[in-house]
Amino acid sequence: MNDINKIIELLKELVVAYGLKLIGAIAALLIGLWLIKILTKALSRIMEKRDVDVSLRAFLRSGFNIILKILLVISIATMIGIPMTSFVAILGAAGLAVGLALSGTLQNFAGGVIILLLKPYKVGDYVETQGYTGTIKEIQIFHTKMLTVDNKTIIIPNGPLSTGSLTNYSMEPVRRVDLTIGISYGNSYEKAKEVLGQMIKEDTRVLKDPAPFIGLSQLADSSINIAVRLWVNAEDYWGVYFDMNDRVYKTFPDKGLSFPFPQMDVHLIKE
């Protein structure tokens, strides 16, 4: 009976000694998370007002949020009564173990830093990389979000993005539209070239410098292929590409120019 009373008294002492600290630590954790949320939103508003690069905003916001949460954990550990020296030793050992386990994640973090420093792409650029093509939506601390043309979000780790090949279609202000127009044998190439030249001249989106190019590129099996090279502003690329094909299809028949189709001459030899 005396042993039970001693145990009860010991439990009471532990509750009195650590119960209030534990309640205070939980309250501090909840308040701290709430404050971190507010501070992160405030940082976002400040960066937006100061016109910080859109590509940098998500990266800084994520890093700021993680650092504040680490500081919060350290503060709560101190409140509970864990000695800082012991806590730092535990944190260092845990950090080493986590670092070895998450080496790929650390590579992604380093990749994000490299991307933001070297700027191979930024938010809003249309790129092709890692087997995907789309518009960069957000650059975060560990990964990049890409939006495809059919409205799918692709999440790609920053590590491979910083070391792999990447095609950025938005980096240069102008792009070249490459078209191949086929006409049937027997049609006049000069006539086709004249019609194409007039169509190009009428489209104000086509740049005069560099000058447009029209040339006979190939005498194929069933067609005469004409190469057309047009320089346009990057934002006009797809508009010019589709409109030119549409105009060729509608205009050529009216000008006496026909489109080819696969054909074969068969000669029958009577024995």
Length of the chain in residues, anyone?
Answer: 271
| Spatial distance between the Cα atoms of 168 and 145, rounded to a whole number of angstroms | 15
54-80 and 20-49 helices, crossing angle to 10°: 160
Q: Is 171 exposed, middle or buried (0-12, 13-18, 19+ CB in 10 A)?
A: middle
Q: What is the pLDDT of residues 33-55, one digit of tens each?
A: 888 888 888 877 877 777 766 66
Q: How many CB atoms lie within 10 A of CB 110?
A: 14
Q: What is the reported pLDDT for 215? A: 94
Mean pLDDT of 193-220: 92
Q: What is the reported pLDDT for 141? A: 80
The amino acid sitting at 200 is I
Q: Is 223 exposed, middle or buried (0-12, 13-18, 19+ CB in 10 A)?
A: buried
Q: What is the reported pLDDT for 11? A: 56
Map tokens 């960069």 to a residue: 136
| Chain Cα centroid distance, residue 180 | 31
Q: What is the reported pLDDT for 120? A: 87
Q: What percent of the chain has pLDDT over 90?
A: 30
Candidate from 88-97, 146-155, 164-173, 249-258 with smallest mean pLDDT: 88-97
Cis bond leading into 83, ω under 30°?
Answer: no
Residue 235 is given by DSSP the state G
pLDDT band at 147 (very low <50, low <70, confident <90, very high): very high
Q: Collapse the DSSP code of 151 into the 3-class scheme (helix H, G, I; strand E, B; otherwise coil) and give the result.
A: coil
Mean pLDDT of 201-216: 92
Q: What is the pLDDT of residues 123-143, one digit of tens each?
A: 888 999 888 999 999 888 888
Mean pLDDT of 3-20: 60
Q: What is the reported pLDDT for 181? A: 93
Mean pLDDT of 225-230: 94
Tokens, residue 57: 């905003």
Q: What is the reported pLDDT for 231? A: 95
Q: Is 34 exposed, middle or buried (0-12, 13-18, 19+ CB in 10 A)?
A: exposed
Structural domains of the chain, with CATH: 2-101 (1.10.287.1260), 113-168 (2.30.30.60), 174-255 (3.30.70.100)
CA distance readout (Å), 63 to 80, 113, 140: 26, 11, 9
Candidate from 63-72, 117-126, 196-205, 210-219 with smallest mean pLDDT: 63-72
Tokens, residue 213: 């190019």
